[in-house]
């Protein structure tokens, strides 16, 4: 049992940091740009539609406030860890150095839900905006070739068309492989691509806020929190609207905030990680939280929440008030913007795999091998691209996004616990950044994330528990035996 809680020495992390093999090219602003690139995307351009239309109504802004507060507690804890352990494993590495191997493995396993399912969600969202963009040029994709089967069936039924027997989301499949190719080429190229897209995204978000503000009809905000509606599907009760609906929406849009977590996975490629990573984590979260709240207020003020298109809510809000010229501009920017989110999510996933492979918990040949020229973990990048492209092609967006949020909530809660443990057990460590009132902030962070997990839909809990059980089996069959800490002669 003691082996389950064995910890990787902090000194081992620090030694690995000096010989990571990755190219250190990211500056403070490059890291912040990566964070903003990951945060601004699926949350604004897609999940606002699902959360407002089905759960929160105009109170979507309140859902973003709630999710943002929970993330702020976690981000302050992440920032301290990033200054102490500036390595690519993110929450997985933090737990390995403080709580123990089994917990670290479980967090790493669930970070797969956060990053891989996050990238998959965005791939499906990208497809929706790309198809809308083609439509503006009078080019229409067949419904069965740009949706999963369930969504294609729903759309064909609504349009009075024949129900297809097969469906495959081809645009989602293609964009995944384009992003995969960029990531295999190198972090410098990926960061440069992201920087350009981030500038475009921020410009469009500001455009939506400023122009949309002139078309707000305050009557659309009444009632701000629609009356609670309970439905039962397959024996499971679902809550929509009311404050319960607002909290459920918060668990959905929580996905939109995980970009600051992605910043910590790039510590191995930062020029000055101990100072720049904490700055980028907090800065990207603060900027994007403000933008999210403003955008959600504008969208639900422009059109009624139940008229928002769940696939492309921002574009539908402007077309709903007759600003068709703006739809073209927004759709192009959203398509480009979602690309950068995918890029950062997939980048984060491969770096977490790299950290786990270095520790022996995953096969080093597949997950830990760097390309001799590009210095990127190209094998795991290709594997991640293959998995995401397949799932994105056949799965509805709502199911993927909630699984992503579950992994995120658990990881954030564990980081809040871990930073308090490390502060207590190793107060002598150098901490370029310290979480203010760490025991209060950490406790609030844990409580908040566990509280939000309570409002995740029951079917998501079932899938999450199955995924967790598979992870525990993999740990005992492979990872526990292959861990570097099993080797008494192990030296980082």
* Structure confidence at residue 413 (pLDDT): 87
**Which residues are within 8 A (CB) of 490 and not within 5 positions of it... i.e. 6 or more apart?**
484
Q: Judging by DSSP bridges, how do beta strands 229-233 and 236-240 pair with one another?
A: antiparallel
Look at residue 234 and tell me whether its pLDDT is greater than 60. Answer: no
CA distances from 93 to 87, 102, 229 (A): 7, 12, 42
Look at residue 395 and tell me whether its pLDDT is greater than 70. Answer: yes
* Structure confidence at residue 188 (pLDDT): 65
What are the helix (H) ranges across 19-148? 28-39, 42, 48-51, 60-84, 91-96, 101-136
What does the alpha-carbon distance between residue 222 and residue 215 come to, in Å, rounded to a whole number? 16
Name beta bridge partners: 233: 236
* Structure confidence at residue 103 (pLDDT): 86
Look at residue 20 and tell me whether its pLDDT is greater than 70. Answer: no
DSSP element (H, E) containing 240: strand 236-240
What does the alpha-carbon distance between residue 181 and residue 174 come to, in Å, rounded to a whole number? 11
Look at residue 347 and tell me whether its pLDDT is greater than 90. Answer: no
**Which residues are within 8 A (CB) of 229 and not within 5 positions of it... i.e. 6 or more apart?**
239, 240, 241, 242, 245
What are the helix (H) ranges across 254-377? 259-264, 273-302, 313-320, 324-358, 364-367
DSSP element (H, E) containing 236: strand 236-240
Report the first-to-last Cα separation within the chain, whole angstroms. 24
pLDDT tier, 238 (very low <50, low <70, confident <90, very high otherwise): low
DSSP element (H, E) containing 231: strand 229-233
Percent pLDDT > 70 in the chain is: 91
* Structure confidence at residue 1 (pLDDT): 61
* Structure confidence at residue 170 (pLDDT): 94
DSSP assignment of 66-88 equals HHHHHHHHHHHHHHHHHHH--ST
* Structure confidence at residue 475 (pLDDT): 93
> What average pLDDT does range 412-426 have in this prediction?
87
Centroid of chain to Cα 385: 16
DSSP state of 7: -
Higher pLDDT, 233 or 51: 51
Name beta bridge partners: 446: none
What are the helix (H) ranges across 377-479? 378-394, 397-425, 438-453, 458-474
- Phi, psi (deg, nearest 5) at residue 265: -75, -15
pLDDT tier, 100 (very low <50, low <70, confident <90, very high otherwise): confident
pLDDT tier, 115 (very low <50, low <70, confident <90, very high otherwise): confident
Q: What would you report as the CA-atom Rg of the chain, rounded to the nearest whole angstrom?
A: 22
> What average pLDDT does range 343-355 have in this prediction?
84
| Most trustworthy range by pLDDT among 54-63, 238-247, 457-466 | 54-63
Q: What is the mean pLDDT of the chain?
A: 84
Higher pLDDT, 379 or 201: 379
* Structure confidence at residue 203 (pLDDT): 86
**Which residues are within 8 A (CB) of 180 and not within 5 positions of it... i.e. 6 or more apart?**
346, 381, 382, 384, 385, 389
* Structure confidence at residue 317 (pLDDT): 86
CB 167 within 8 A of CB 147: yes
CA distances from 377 to 23, 91, 120, 251, 315 (A): 12, 19, 20, 32, 37
Which tens digit of pLDDT belongs to each residue from 278-311? 888 888 888 888 998 999 999 999 999 888 877 6
CB 422 within 8 A of CB 214: no
Percent pLDDT > 90 in the chain is: 19
Look at residue 25 and tell me whether its pLDDT is greater than 80. Answer: no
Nearest to 473 by CA among 113, 8, 100, 109: 109
DSSP state of 492: -
CATH architecture of 2-486: Up-down Bundle (1.20)
Which tens digit of pLDDT belongs to each residue from 249-280? 888 787 677 777 778 777 777 788 778 888 88
> What average pLDDT does range 475-490 have in this prediction?
85
What's the residue count for the chain?
A: 492
pLDDT tier, 469 (very low <50, low <70, confident <90, very high otherwise): very high
Higher pLDDT, 49 or 87: 49
Higher pLDDT, 158 or 13: 158
What does the alpha-carbon distance between residue 226 and residue 249 come to, in Å, rounded to a whole number? 13
Which tens digit of pLDDT belongs to each residue from 140-181? 889 999 888 888 898 889 888 888 888 999 999 999 999 999
Query: Comparing 314-323, 399-408, 426-435, which segment has the lowest mean pLDDT?
Result: 399-408
Which tens digit of pLDDT belongs to each residue from 358-367? 889 999 999 9
């Amino acid at each position: 049992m003691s082996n389950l809680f064995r910890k990787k020495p902090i000194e081992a992390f620090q030694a690995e940091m000096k010989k990571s093999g990755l190219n250190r090219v990211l500056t403070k602003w490059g890291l912040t740009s990566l964070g903003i690139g990951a945060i601004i995307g699926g949350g604004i351009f897609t999940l606002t539609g699902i959360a407002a239309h089905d759960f929160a109504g105009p109170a979507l802004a309140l859902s973003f406030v709630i999710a943002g507060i929970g993330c702020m507690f976690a981000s302050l804890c992440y920032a301290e860890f990033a200054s102490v352990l500036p390595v690519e494993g993110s929450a997985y590495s933090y737990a390995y150095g403080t709580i123990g191997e089994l917990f670290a493995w479980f967090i790493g396993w669930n970070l797969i839900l956060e990053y891989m399912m996050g990238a998959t969600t965005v791939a499906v969202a990208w497809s929706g905006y790309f198809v809308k963009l083609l439509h503006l040029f009078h080019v229409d994709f067949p419904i069965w070739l740009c949706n999963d089967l369930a969504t294609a069936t729903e759309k064909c039924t609504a349009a009075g068309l024949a129900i297809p027997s097969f469906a495959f989301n081809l645009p989602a499949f293609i964009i995944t492989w384009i992003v995969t190719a960029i990531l295999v080429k190198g972090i410098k190229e990926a960061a440069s691509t992201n920087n350009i897209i981030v500038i475009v995204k921020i410009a469009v978000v500001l455009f939506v806020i400023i122009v949309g503000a002139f078309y707000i009809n305050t009557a659309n905000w009444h009632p701000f929190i629609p009356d609670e509606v309970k439905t039962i599907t397959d024996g499971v009760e679902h809550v929509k609207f009311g404050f319960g609906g607002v909290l459920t929406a918060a668990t959905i849009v929580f996905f939109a905030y995980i970009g600051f977590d992605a910043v910590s996975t790039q510590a191995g490629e930062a020029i000055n990680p101990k100072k720049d990573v904490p700055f980028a984590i907090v800065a990207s979260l603060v900027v994007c939280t403000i933008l999210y709240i403003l955008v959600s207020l504008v969208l639900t003020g422009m059109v009624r929440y139940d008229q928002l298109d769940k696939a492309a809510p921002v574009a539908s809000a402007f077309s709903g008030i007759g600003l068709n010229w703006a739809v073209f501009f927004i759709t192009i920017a959203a398509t480009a913007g979602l690309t950068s989110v995918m890029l950062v999510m997939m980048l984060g996933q491969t770096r977490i795999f790299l950290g786990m492979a270095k520790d022996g918990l995953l096969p080093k040949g597949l997950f830990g091998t760097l390309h001799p020229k590009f210095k990127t973990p190209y094998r795991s990048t290709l594997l991640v691209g293959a998995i995401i492209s397949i799932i994105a092609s056949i799965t509805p967006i709502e199911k993927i996004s909630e699984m992503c949020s579950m992994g995120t909530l658990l990881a954030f809660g564990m980081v809040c616990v871990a930073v308090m443990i490390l502060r207590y057990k190793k107060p002598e460590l150098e901490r370029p950044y310290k979480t203010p009132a760490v025991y209060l902030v950490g406790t609030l962070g844990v409580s908040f994330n566990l509280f939000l997990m309570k409002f995740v839909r029951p079917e998501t809990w079932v899938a999450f528990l199955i995924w967790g059980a598979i992870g525990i089996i993999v740990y005992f069959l492979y990872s526990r035996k292959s861990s570097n800490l099993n080797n008494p002669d192990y030296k980082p």
